[in-house]
């Protein structure tokens, strides 16, 4: 089998239009989010306005990171020290990290084999914990039944904050991910759907919530300079009692993102071509299963997950190693020790230990791979064939 020579961390170049916009900001020297002259709209405000329009929402706050957007959303929603906050057992460290950052307690909810929130377990844990907030992580771009989730949360009086780091542009029955609850939180970190190195976006249709979030982000009473903010009266009652936790995005990063946003719909189609090609190959490999995508979901296939049910830890590590030798970088979510970006609830010692047998069983055989747009369709076919080859080889060697 010919090794793959591509680099899984290599993104496409920043577009020339974005580079020119960034250079213009640098030449002007006004990088700070509020450093504008009379009559000028800063790039951060422009991005907020543009993303609110893209997201079909009323308000948007550009943030310094996706994790910051999560923590500010929790604070603006009124989460206080010691409060229980429900979230997926299968997620990445910034999600329980955001809960810990506001002094709250993570209550992990089991997932299904399709990598989405188990609504029956959610129902039980709402009752057991008394939690009033669900921080839903649409991990690796998989949407649960959003209609059923919304109905359950409404019946239980639980507010929804969506972590959409992996679902920017995804939809459920034509409704954008991030628009099903109080707020949507997005990431523009390099490995997400828009690339500013680090960054985030927070959206909402709730004016009181967004006023608190903008003040928390460090508006210095300059909230009227935001591009997609609620009317001034929503700030009056809370502006002196809300602490400044500076974290709104600067103009430099915002200038890089604006041109990329226009290209996002086309890039989603490109990601899905690559995802669908790899999925087709892997779905025909004995011993490999790919999560089911419901017809109601319009996904963004910027990464792919597949399972090898029943594989043990030694086999899993051997499988990852065999792929790496052939140039394919897989992550295994069943490892008790965190590896780079990949970890699971056993290593989040800032959260109380919890018994999650279903999730642990699923993660024990779950593998994950980025699909950068720098890879061609032929690259993706080659990668899928390597995975199929190594799956067959490790299966034979374990018999």
- Does this chain's domain 16-259 share its CATH topology with 264-398? no
Describe the chain by its helix, strand, coil percentages, rounded to 5. 40, 15, 45
What's the CA gap between 271 and 255, in Å, rounded? 24
* pTM (2 d.p.): 0.96
Closest CA to 279 of 168, 171, 386, 380: 380
- The string of pLDDT tens digits covering residues 233-246 is 999 999 999 999 99
Q: Which CATH class is domain 16-259?
A: alpha beta
- The string of pLDDT tens digits covering residues 181-215 is 999 999 999 999 999 999 999 999 999 999 999 99
Strand partners, 176: 171
- Supply 339's token pair: 């590896």
Domain chopping of the chain, boundaries: 16-259, 264-398
pLDDT in the model for residue 40: 83
Closest CA to 2 of 319, 328, 330: 328
Q: Three-state SS across 255-266?
A: HHHHHHHHHHHH
Instruction: Give per-residue burial for 250-270: e unless 16+ CB within 10 Å, then b.
Output: bbbbbbbbbbbbeeeeebbeb
pLDDT in the model for residue 37: 83
- The string of pLDDT tens digits covering residues 108-144 is 999 999 999 999 999 999 999 999 999 999 999 999 9
One DSSP character per residue, 209-253 reads HHHHHHHHTT-TT-GGG-SB---THHHHTTTTTSPP---BPPHHH
DSSP letter for 387, please. H
* Residues 229 and 210: beta-carbon distance below 8 Å: yes
* 264-398, CATH topology level: 3.90.1150
pLDDT means per 10 residues, the chain with 399 residues, are: 95 96 95 86 96 98 98 98 97 97 98 98 98 98 98 98 98 98 98 97 98 96 93 95 95 97 98 98 96 98 97 96 97 89 92 97 97 98 98 66
């Amino acid at each position: 089998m010919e090794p793959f020579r591509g680099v899984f961390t290599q993104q496409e170049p920043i577009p020339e239009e974005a580079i020119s916009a960034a250079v213009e900001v640098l030449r002007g020297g006004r990088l700070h989010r509020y450093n504008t002259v009379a009559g000028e709209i800063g790039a951060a405000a422009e991005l907020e306005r543009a993303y609110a329009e893209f997201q079909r929402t009323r308000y948007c706050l550009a943030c310094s990171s996706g994790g910051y957007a999560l923590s500010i959303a929790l604070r603006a929603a009124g989460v206080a020290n010691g409060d229980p906050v429900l979230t997926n057992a299968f997620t990445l460290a910034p999600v329980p990290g955001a809960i810990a950052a506001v002094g709250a307690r993570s209550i992990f909810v089991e997932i299904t084999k399709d990598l989405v929130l188990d609504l029956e377990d959610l129902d039980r844990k709402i009752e057991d914990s008394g939690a009033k907030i669900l921080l839903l992580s649409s991990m690796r771009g998989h949407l649960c039944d959003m209609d059923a989730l919304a109905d359950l949360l409404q019946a239980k009086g639980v507010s929804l904050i969506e972590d959409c780091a992996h679902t920017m542009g995804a939809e459920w029955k034509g409704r954008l991910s991030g628009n099903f609850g109080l707020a949507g939180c997005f990431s523009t970190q390099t490995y997400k759907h828009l690339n500013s190195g680090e960054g985030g976006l927070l959206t909402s249709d709730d004016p009181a919530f967004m006023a608190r979030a903008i003040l928390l982000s460090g508006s210095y009473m300059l909230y009227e300079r935001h591009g997609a903010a609620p009317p001034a009266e929503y700030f009056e009652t809370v502006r002196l009692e809300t602490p400044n936790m500076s974290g709104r995005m600067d103009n430099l990063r915002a200038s890089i993102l604006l041109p990329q946003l226009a290209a996002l719909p086309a890039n989603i189609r490109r990601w899905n071509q690559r995802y669908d090609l790899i999925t087709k190959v892997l779905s025909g490999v004995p011993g490999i299963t790919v999560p089911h995508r419901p017809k109601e979901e319009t996904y963004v296939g910027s990464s792919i997950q597949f399972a090898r049910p029943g594989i043990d830890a030694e086999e899993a590590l051997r499988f990852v190693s065999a792929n790496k030798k052939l140039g394919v970088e897989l992550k295994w979510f069943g490892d008790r020790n965190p590896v780079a970006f990949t970890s699971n609830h056993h290593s989040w010692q800032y959260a109380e230990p919890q018994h999650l047998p279903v999730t642990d069983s699923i993660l024990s055989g779950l593998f994950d791979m980025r699909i950068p747009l720098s890879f061609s369709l032929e690259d993706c076919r080659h990668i899928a064939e390597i995975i199929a080859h190594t799956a067959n080889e490790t299966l034979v060697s374990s018999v």
